[in-house]
Structure 1
């Protein structure tokens, strides 16, 4: 029997029952990821006595193998953790070389690589919060890389069109193996993060890039205090710069004072993206970024009868993966990791299987911009984990992956949860729009009925057939003494609990 896998990319009611997908519900813990094997790895860690951080790390390590287009140990990782009645953030992004003798980084290749921060972030999370050690999370992923992964539809599709894929693209359901990556993961499981940031792995990375072994040895994660905005009684938490999480918060803050509706949402997001592009760098935000008078001044640009032309900004399509975990004790983890664009820089450190990120492409080409390339600097970063609180207590982790779609996805998921009272699965599956440069806005088929009305307001509406444009998300919420979760239908994974 043959299966028509091409039908997966043909939207239309003929391929659905017309009924919606139900959310996952559980009482003692839940994991939501974009890949079935990662969800299972997280659940197994919980069943073996681990907490939410242990489960998140087990899932993250598997994702580094099962979704090599999007993430891996050659990339960065950010996380938010709810524990002991507070949210703690970790910024696991790496820096440019300590010595830079060029004017600009490149979009790919050796001079697009920044120090990979994921492995150090994993180790720091395990040390501070985990019950199990880092090896317990990484060893199963090493076995998986050796044994091989049956390629899922989303990854097969992204791999086939990736410009910098280092290995031949597998077909859907074809097994791929990463034996060199398996050996590197085993060394990390046995020796800890120093097996990555020193010795033969660090030397291999340095030999293929503009980084030095000293750059790798000097890398450290940063524990940070989240930034937040109270959107209609729900506190939305994001990481501070150098990430773009503030774009989601600013869009919510602007929309909070506008006439409700799709046009206002799009315009608020345009302004938020433009403002974020202008100021976010490896340093603090301007003190008045969320000041009421500044918000009011920005809202004044929104015309209910016409679309805005905000300043231009870059629109990278990211290679990222996001996961959410909540355990039975109430600890929650929102974790995201990425190599930036598909297969990152396209550079594989010789003999290691480590695909290196191209995060240096995130530096501004304007030498006077605060985000310009400089020695030892972290670039503007797209990946953003989210966390929701209500009344000062945990509501749940959420996130949407996908380059500049991420803050747009956060904004849309939060408005679906708060304004529409959607459950997590419904909020994730709701049709999305994506703001691009100028008046251009992409809309999914489910928003097609609004296209003409948006065009009359001056929006340049496009309806693409590529679902990857709109991101993939996960979310888990506490409801009473139970957990309700969802996993985006645009991805390959699922949410499940114990």
Structure 2
């Protein structure tokens, strides 16, 4: 069902002994090199993730967060490596600054980074190779440099233009020194290198990441925080640990679709699929198909924005949100024409996704992010650590589920996905891109499971993105007759100028012992296989 041929701009990659799919070719090769050295899919994932902090700094970095779904030892494991707000940051601090919402830049949206701890935790529990080996490719590219690929160069230039406008304070000077060393963004084909990244990665590798949270790197972060009006203390970093969690799932078309539980928005994808499971779809290009998918997604987002937050502050149970009875009630609210649920406006985001598999059955779905582009605009001097702005999604309104609290983790957009069938792994999938991610998950899964597209065709298919109210953006390649038909149903259809905000995904599926991979045409994506 999943693998019959279908017209597509590219064909699937097929292999048997191992596969790595991600948005940067050199990062994919870094992961594959671990398999060639005797490592497993977990080692490949760690190497790829670390390399991406150097090879795609526009979306993730050493100061970001990570999540992973790992199939190993006969079952699926979940890792939440998202960070919390500093203990000194609260609503009173925001009020003293006159803030009514969390800013995008500066210290207020910076939460404790989890990515380095994620690498160490994954490596210690499931890996075969030491971090000194898995981080070696990232160190190499940071020291020697690499030429920018086309999409990366375009995104980097856009970020530099925005940061020139917004980052005027002296605290942001390091960002420009590191990421715009010639007074501008590096150009496509131009070599960029960062010795600071290399030194930091080497310290992380040699200390199994503890120096980032308790040693010299932690001290550098806290020193910079104190000098520039931040909120971090050594205790904020020393107390941090990633958390192993139980993944959650729903059944869709005979498959189990797995996501991580809150504080991530994977529940939004699962709630939408639960609603859609009550319908039958005849064709992708039918207006009824796309209308129902859009309306289900809007309902799921309305619930996600209201309820999803740090688990300690959740006001409803996950199992209640995912119950068939609740899905049936929400399904009744879908009409023949577009309606207006009332969540907040979903902003864009910057994230990297990777999938790995080896010949022994291990598979990893992993996602890593600084959130919005390069993050907060703050780079710790001399380290290359670009600090995330994940706390931007906190609310400053008392009583909101996602209201800022010291030590609290915010609503998280980054979500890895995984498919199983009859208790056996089918494979990892993911679509990066802020609040587009659950929308991408649902559309890609419908392409795979409802319409039988192969992984590459499932990623190539045109996408829509619900924005707010009745507004739905569609890609330039979206069929015009379908756009017109949706507009007649009350959807405010707008054709985007490019595909930059519609997510960037990867898929690896296992079928009869063979690995079948697809990579995103909307980025510099690549699959390395053996």
Per the TM superposition, whether the score is higher than 0.5 is yes
**Superposed counterparts of 1:331-370, under 5 Å:** 331-370=362-401
What is the aligned partner in structure 2 of residue 11 from structure 1? Answer: none
What are the Cα deviations for residues 110-169 of structure 1, in whole angstroms up to 9, with x where unaligned? 111000000001100000000001121112211211111211111111111112363221
Residue 21 of structure 1 aligns to a residue whose secondary structure is coil
TM-score by length of structure 1 reads 0.94
What is the aligned partner in structure 1 of residue 132 from structure 2? Answer: 135
What is the aligned partner in structure 2 of residue 456 from structure 1? Answer: 488
What is the aligned partner in structure 2 of residue 277 from structure 1? Answer: 305
What is the aligned partner in structure 2 of residue 251 from structure 1? Answer: 272
Which residue, 214, 219, 242 being the options, matches 2:235? 214
Q: Over aligned residues, Cα RMSD in angstroms?
A: 1.4
What is the aligned partner in structure 1 of residue 73 from structure 2? Answer: 84
Which residue, 36, 41, 52 being the options, matches 1:47? 36
Moved more, 201-210 or 434-443: 201-210
Q: How far is the alpha carbon of 1:191 from its aligned partner?
A: 2.1
Q: How far is the alpha carbon of 1:19 from its aligned partner?
A: 5.7
Q: State yes or no: 1:241 paired with 2:262.
A: yes
What is the aligned partner in structure 2 of residue 73 from structure 1? Answer: 62
What is the aligned partner in structure 1 of residue 326 from structure 2? Answer: 294
Which residue, 199, 206, 218 being the options, matches 1:183? 199
Q: State yes or no: 1:402 paired with 2:433.
A: yes
Q: Is the 8 A contact 2:499 2:522 kept in 1?
A: yes
Q: Is the 8 A contact 2:301 2:343 kept in 1?
A: no
What is the aligned partner in structure 2 of residue 312 from structure 1? Answer: 343
What are the Cα deviations for residues 301-341 of structure 1, in whole angstroms up to 9, with x where unaligned? 1112x101110323121110000001000000000000000
Q: How far is the alpha carbon of 1:259 from its aligned partner?
A: 5.7
Residue 348 of structure 2 aligns to a residue whose secondary structure is coil
> What CA distance in whole angstroms lies between the structure 2 residues aligned with 1:198 and 1:146?
25
TM-score by length of structure 2 reads 0.88
Moved more, 482-491 or 192-201: 192-201
How many pairs does the alignment contain? 480
Q: Is the 8 A contact 2:18 2:358 kept in 1?
A: yes
Which residue, 123, 141, 165 being the options, matches 1:144? 141
Q: Is the 8 A contact 1:225 1:240 kept in 2?
A: yes
What is the aligned partner in structure 2 of residue 264 from structure 1? Answer: 292
Pair 1:233–1:191, CA change in 2 (3 A): same
What is the aligned partner in structure 1 of residue 501 from structure 2? Answer: 469
What are the Cα deviations for residues 356-381 of structure 1, in whole angstroms up to 9, with x where unaligned? 00011111232201211001000000
What is the aligned partner in structure 2 of residue 126 from structure 1? Answer: 123
Residue 188 of structure 2 aligns to a residue whose secondary structure is coil
What is the aligned partner in structure 2 of residue 23 from structure 1? Answer: 12
Q: Is the 8 A contact 1:442 1:464 kept in 2?
A: yes
**Superposed counterparts of 1:438-453, under 5 Å:** 438-449=469-480, 450-453=482-485
Residue 501 of structure 2 aligns to a residue whose secondary structure is helix
